[in-house]
Amino acid sequence: MDTYNRLPLKLTRGKGCWVWDDRGNRYLDAVAGIATCNIGHSDNALRRSLTNQLNKLQHVSNLYKIPEQEALAKWLVDHSCADKIFFCNSGAEANESAIKLARKYGHQRKGIDRPIILTAKASFHGRTLAAISATGQPRYHRGFEPTVEGFEFFAYNNWQNFESLLQKIEKDGPRIAAVLIEPLQGEGGVNPGQKDFFIRLRNQCFKHEILLILDEVQTGMGRCGCWWGYEKLGIEPDVFTIAKGLGGGHAIGALLVQNHANLFEPGDHASTFGGNPFACRAGLTVAEEIEKRHLLPQVSARGQQLREGLLALIGRFPKLLSEARGWGLIQGLVLQENTNITSQNISKDALNEKLLVVPAGPKVVRMVPPLIINRHEIRKLIKRLEATIDKQI
């Protein structure tokens, strides 16, 4: 079906941070399946691990205990603030699970008849009907109305706007069950959360017994230079969701909760493929390889190098570029609002320089390369991006 604006490129193989098309051309990949292939393409450890898993067992029902699932769940609990895990297949499914959990929390713990979840403007939480309803970008709602009720929106990083909305909704008694928010807005323009805002948000949620749910689908699994984006903000959520980088390119997502938010019971929620042995082996291998290769400090160093390169480009092209922002290896280059050039233009033209980048809205060029990218490859990335922009002038 015609659901993608595909670029004129057919990729056939990859290795590390590089991919090749059907004509043998090699491209530096700063998209990584949109922040997904964290340890690169055709990784030796991942290939060996998944081959071994296919020789054992690829799928069984969640009616039975699954050792690979239990091992990945233990790793996630040991490396986060979570106590319990529900596995699914994608970020949208993880957020859908969080929305269901928030509603049950509102009914069961707060006695709310029609629970409300607060989410941020310019957010993105996935493509299912509830997830796009939670997404604070009206363009994703058009054509799919009526959206799911029970969501209200506030301006990201804007404390006064959030507080006024909270007071307005709560004036006749408790009605808010949860806040669902990204620590860094990815699709909304690579917009990092402000630490002061999130600390105040965390405290307000404690005060009003509101679940704080963080959407870590794009920021989790080391992309920010730490395991989770919430570590950048000095808080711990009650609930958070992950996907993308967890499977290293294989389909897996998860809902992670602290014990006080562990409300699901048998029959409340399920997934046929969620937490299958193959996907969990992929997730466990990715996690172990990030640790073994000490990639978290590497992400911070290469992210700083990339940011410095982007700032140099802004210095060279001030009429076209306005800002560089992000954490670790999720970085955005912001175009001036008064230019006719869009991030889609840059992404398409970068193909001529054998570089893959991806838009994050119409005015932000996003770079989310594999976490294994090295110093030399970052320099190539900047050089190829500079050549792309130079041709726009």
Tokens of 251: 């389909």
Asked whether residue 155 falls in the same domain as residue 110, the answer is: yes
Task: Say if residue 270 is in the same domain as residue 310.
Answer: no
Average pLDDT on 228-256 reads 98
Q: Is the pLDDT of residue 14 over 90?
A: yes
Average pLDDT, the chain: 97
Give the separation between CA 354 and CA 11, rounded to whole angstroms.
12
In a domain, 109, yes or no: yes
- Report how far apart, in Å, the C-alpha atoms of 83 and of each of 74, 216, 260 are: 9, 16, 9
Clarify whether residues 303 and 183 are in a common domain: no
Q: For 309-361, what is each residue's pLDDT tens digit?
A: 999 999 999 999 999 999 999 999 999 999 999 999 999 999 999 999 999 99
Cα 282 from Cα 209, distance rounded (Å): 36
CA distances from 158 to 140, 202, 334 (A): 22, 14, 20
Instruction: Provide the domain count of the chain.
Output: 2
Alpha-carbon distance 186 to 157, whole Å? 14
Regarding whether 195 and 141 lie in a shared domain, the answer is yes
Same domain, 103 and 121: yes
Q: Are residues 176 and 309 in the same domain?
A: no
**Would you say the pTM of this structure is higher than 0.75?**
yes
Same domain, 97 and 187: yes
* Domain containing residue 200: CATH number: 3.40.640.10
By DSSP bridging, strand 239-242 and strand 211-215 are parallel
β-strands 116-120, 151-154 pairing: parallel
pLDDT in tens, 350-393: 999 999 999 999 999 999 999 999 999 999 999 999 999 999 98
Nearby residues of 361 by Cβ (< 8 Å), 6 or more positions away: 187, 188, 189, 343
Residues 212 and 345 in one domain: no
Together in a domain, 56 and 102: yes
Residue 351 lies in a domain: yes
Instruction: Give the pLDDT confidence of 183-227 residue by residue, as tens digits.
Output: 999 999 999 999 999 999 999 999 999 999 999 999 999 999 999
Q: Are 19 and 135 in a shared domain?
A: no
267 vs 151: CA distance, rounded Å? 25
- The reported pLDDT for the residue numbered 259 is 98
Amino acid (1-letter code) at residue 323? E
Integer angstrom CA distances of residue 48 from 36, 42, 43: 19, 10, 9
Q: Tell me if 5 is assigned to some domain.
A: no
Question: Is 1 domain-assigned?
Answer: no
| Range scoring the smallest mean pLDDT among 123-132, 169-178, 302-311 | 169-178
Separation CA 170–CA 200 (nearest Å): 17
Same domain, 325 and 372: yes
**Residue 172 pLDDT:** 82
Domain boundary among 244, 268, 292: 292
Check if the beta carbon of residue 118 is closer than 8 Å to that of residue 153. yes
For range 14-32, the mean pLDDT: 98
Question: For tokens 């209200």, what's the residue?
Answer: 152
End residue of a domain, out of 243, 272, 292: 292
- State which amino acid sits at residue 13: R
Integer angstrom CA distances of residue 33 from 18, 30, 183, 250, 288: 12, 9, 20, 10, 20
The pLDDT score that the predictor gives to residue 393 is 82
Kindly calculate the radius of gyration of the chain based on its CA atoms and give it in whole angstroms.
21
**Domain end: 292, 310, 336, which one?**
292
Would you say residue 214 lies in a domain? yes
> Whats the size of the chain, residue-wise?
393
What residue numbers bound the domain in which 331 lies? 11-39+294-390
- Determine contact, residues 218/182, Cβ cutoff 8 Å: yes
- The answer to whether position 3 is within a domain reads no
Q: Report the percent of the chain where pLDDT is more than 90.
A: 98
Write phi, then psi, for 147 (nearest 5 degrees): -75, 165
* Residue found by looking up tokens 């400090």 in the block: 297
pLDDT digits (tens, 9 = 90+) for 82-141: 999 999 999 999 999 999 999 999 999 999 999 999 999 999 999 999 999 999 999 999
CATH number of the CATH domain containing 339? 3.90.1150.10
262 and 328, same structural domain? no
6, part of any domain:
no
